[in-house]
Amino acid sequence: MQHQMFVDGAWIPALSGATTVATSPATGEQLGTVPEGDRSDARAAIAAARKAAGGWARLSAFGRAALLHRVADVIEARRDELARTLTLDQGKPLRAEAYDEVDELVTYWRMAAEDGKRLGGLLPNSAGAGKRALLVRRPRGVVGVITPWNWPYTMPAELIAPALASGNTVVWTPAPTTAVAAVALAGCLAEADLPPGVLNLVTGPGPVVGDEIARNPGTDAVAFIGSTATGRSVASAAAGKATLLEMGGNGPLVVLADADLDRAVEGALQACFLCAGQSCTAGERLLVDHAVREDFAERLARAVKERIRLGDPLDDATTMGPLNNAGVAAKMDEHVADAVRRGATVLTGGARATGFATDLYWPATVLTDVPADAAAATEETFGPIAPIVGISGLPEAIELTNASRYGLLAAVYTADLSAGLAFADAVRTGWVNINESTNYWESHLPFGGRSGSDSGLGRVGGAHPMEAFTELQTVIIG
């Protein structure tokens, strides 16, 4: 199938005619060709978005909400198609994960529609007698959106839906390895009959298309979700513009000596193996008190062997599919080898699986006795790994958490609420879960990294991105 970009209300090829072949990480089959856009394609999309910006901004919030609800209606009608496309293009298990992401996609579009209706200003007092001051929220104009491959529907929806709901037009470029899923999502917006130019999709290499979208003076704000290294490049290119950056994470998931170990194991299964560990909220390291470390490690390894089934993601019995691309699989290779070389013990997994359609299948891996400074415990592995690091209690858990350059999310398991709250007070992360997995979040709540970390700037979730996508205009009435 020859997929196309969506610009100014029309499906078009790249201006150069260049294409790339999309290959499924699950089956190795070709999913068709995707346009390989370049800077000229991005500029054309930005021009289309600028042309449409005035009319879209003048449409009432309720009028925009009706169109966003129409997008959600189309997504619901195309649920099966979208889920299967996600499985083939990204690798998520169809029944265990893909349908859930499509359903979450609906939630984001409907939530943004309603949040847009409620987006209001203020009526502060004026210093002048007989005058009135109005603070009115205005859309910034054109928002550039750059999204990753691990959640090809959820991540774009977190940004595009609130950008549109708050009166902006959008130019979007997705990660190339899940461009087919992006085209499928753009097809839902096209079917919903949004005005031409309101949503524009340009596929192509990030250093080219993404850089142009971030750098071009035709975009007024830039929103990015992805790795820390790429986020820094985007921030540099977008200097002077409003930016929203949601970047990398490194857990941790902390298990104190008084924790309910069964509950902690459940949390670790979700933290480490949802989306095959390819999530910024993954439990990239497990900090477990020495008093319970051996017991916890044995329970977790047993649960992995009994409940995590690596396999064909189209098989209903599969709970974990392949990794999405060769780069993340190679990082798993390196981090596991580094940990073992430095004294870690492999309790389960530990090497790439064989006998599958591609070499991207990595089994759920549990390591114990991992040094606190090993790559698997300090860097973002982005794979199905549970590296267990022994700690001596709450103070060390706080120390190791804050020693990380990341500051996105942390979780702690403890029977002592005061200890859990003390942990939340002391750690520099944007989100803390107490007796919940690192992969637990709620879509309407603000999510993002703490200042001074490598985890980003601003907040996604619910109406919170609208703080970056709008600005206050002061109006004085004499």
Phi, psi of 184 (to 5 degrees): -65, -40
Please say whether the beta carbons of 365 and 340 come within 8 A: no
Tokens of 156: 């774009």
Q: Give residue 147's Cα distance to chain centre.
A: 8
* Candidates 188, 272, 275, 280; catalytic one: 280
H/E stretch holding 159 reads helix 154-165
Token couple for 216: 């071009």
Residue of 155, 137, 325 lying closest to 225 (CA atoms): 155
- 434 strand-pairing partners: 412
**Residues recorded for the chain:** 478
| Contact assessment for residue 199 and residue 172, using Cβ atoms and an 8 Å cutoff | yes
Annotation says 101 is catalytic: no
Residue 343 and residue 329 in contact, taking contact as beta carbons nearer than 8 Å? no
Q: Three-state DSSP class for 270? A: helix
CB 254 within 8 A of CB 437: no
Going by C-alpha positions, the residue among 449, 410, 418 that lies closest to residue 287 is 410
**138 Rama class: left (phi>0) / alpha (psi -120 to 50) / beta:** beta
Task: Give the whole-angstrom CA distance, residue 272 versus residue 304.
Answer: 10
At residue 330, φ and ψ (nearest 5 deg) are: -65, -35
Among 36, 246, 379, 380, the active-site one is: 246
Residue 346 CA to residue 353 CA, distance in Å, equals 15
CA distance 110 to 410: 29
The question of whether 188 is a catalytic residue gets the answer: no
Distance, CA of 65 to CA of 10 (rounded, Å): 22
Q: Which residues are catalytic?
A: 246, 280
